[in-house]
Structure 1
Amino acid sequence: MWSSPKIRCRVGGWHEASSARLTVVTARTSEVIARAASLDAEARYWQGTPNDLALPDVASGSDPYVASPGYEAFVGRERRTNRLLVDISLSYHDGRFQVGGNVAAGHRRQGYGREALGMVCVIAHRHLGIAELYASCEVSNDASRRWLASCGFAPTPGPPRITLSNGRVVEACWWRHVDRAPRLRCRNDVWAERICR
């Protein structure tokens, strides 16, 4: 579905891919903090972000990448302005590789989310060797449903309810994206534990 962007990869789980408008890269802790702090009420509601969300402290000068076995956070920056517009997570949860994320307020419905998720899917399928990706959203979240469908995800069976981080239980719909020819090219140990099981 997507053209294959060039994927850059470094030891420790760092990945980067670019489109004409966006660069998607493994997030640093400070970028995760910046995106979490800038979430608007709509994003907080749909994602179930707690009001008292505890954010890590990077005052020590350390600003590590957010990548560990079975989890990687990505951010999408607009190439022209370097603005942080999108966050996408890739995680291994309940026996499935799952993706999720959102686009900054004021930049939604402009294709940024589709571009960013498309690049993360290419990284997952064609670099990490993951054949199937799953996503869930609240049944009434029309924007997420449109976003996933526009990226080639198709409805699939899954748990009918999910519990969000703030404890809210919601009716869920599940989506799946399949690559019939995944390729494992990544040499990072950070993903090997989950992929090569």
Structure 2
Amino acid sequence: MVWSLFRRGRSASGLPVPGRCAPGRHVLATERLLLFTPRTRMDVVAALAASADAEAQRWLGTKADEVLPHPGTRRALLAWRPAGDDGRRIPPVLAEPFTPGPDDPLLLVCVRRSDLSYAGALELDHRLGEMGGWLAPGCRGQGLGVELFRAGVELAHTHTGLATVRAGAEPGNTASRRALAGAGFVPDEGPHRHTLPDGRVIDAVWHRHDTTATTRCH
């Protein structure tokens, strides 16, 4: 999220441009990250690869059939750039277009603006007004979590028209809780126990971000 993505030929990379959302598709930028609705299956698989390591799964608890278990496979996927933007051909099955379902939570894959490497993902359930996100192992501990959640706030308030967005975390997940606080979230009331997608039940604390001015992108 300081250098411009659109200088020195980067505008020809084919990546989505912030401010040019389309029906069912969103694009946002922070200082060091570019976030966009996945265009290909490669984008989706890379987003999953960014969250499949044991450290991330301790907090996320993704369903077993959506976790990429082999570390070498995860590293290889994260080494790619968004399909077609680094001149390499990816397997045809991963180059297939991705079309989000109208009732699915909004998933935005994120890449570093410096080198276009996959960096993680943001997810917003616009029906429940709840948000989550994660960073790839090589992107943690650099303050990118604050930028990721600030992008989530923008997505919720100015792209989907939500006045309030909430996020839950396990009490011991200090990195996520600090990032949420840095993005302007404040403590909120909520269930003290939360069931993860893999069935594990964990302790939970909740945070919220409110605004009185909402808009929707076009």
Give the TM-score taking structure 2 as reference length: 0.73
1:91 paired to 2:104:
no
1:64 paired to 2:66:
no
SS at structure 2 position matched to 1:8: coil
* CA distance, structure 1, for counterparts of residue 34 and residue 94 of structure 2: 27
Corresponding letter in the other structure for 1:89 = E
State how many pairs are aligned: 177
Q: Paired residue for 1:142?
A: 174
* CA distance, structure 2, for counterparts of residue 173 and residue 149 of structure 1: 13
Shift of 1:34: 1.7
RMSD: 2.3
Q: Is the 8 A contact 1:21 1:78 kept in 2?
A: yes
Q: Is the 8 A contact 1:86 1:112 kept in 2?
A: no
Structure 2 residues not aligned, in runs of 5+: 1-17, 69-91
Runs of 4+ in 1 over 3 A off after TM superposition: none
Describe the shift of the 1:52–1:128 C-alpha distance in structure 2 as closer, same or farther (beyond 3 A).
closer
Describe the shift of the 1:65–1:121 C-alpha distance in structure 2 as closer, same or farther (beyond 3 A).
farther
Structure 1, 127-136 or 17-26: larger mean CA deviation: 17-26
Structure 1 residues not aligned, in runs of 5+: 1-5, 188-197
Calculate percent identity across the aligned residue pairs.
36
Rg larger for = 2
User: Which of 17, 29, 47 in structure 2 is aligned with 1:35?
Assistant: 47
Shift of 1:106: 2.0
Q: Is the 8 A contact 1:26 1:65 kept in 2?
A: no
SS at structure 2 position matched to 1:135: strand
Shift of 1:67: 5.1
CA distances 1:62-101 after superposition (whole Å, capped 9, x unpaired): 32143523621011111121101021101145xx311101
Task: Compare the two structures and name the one with the higher strand fraction.
Answer: 1
Describe the shift of the 1:61–1:126 C-alpha distance in structure 2 as closer, same or farther (beyond 3 A).
closer
Describe the shift of the 1:99–1:78 C-alpha distance in structure 2 as closer, same or farther (beyond 3 A).
same
Alignment of 1:90-129 (within 5 A): 90-92=124-126, 96-129=128-161
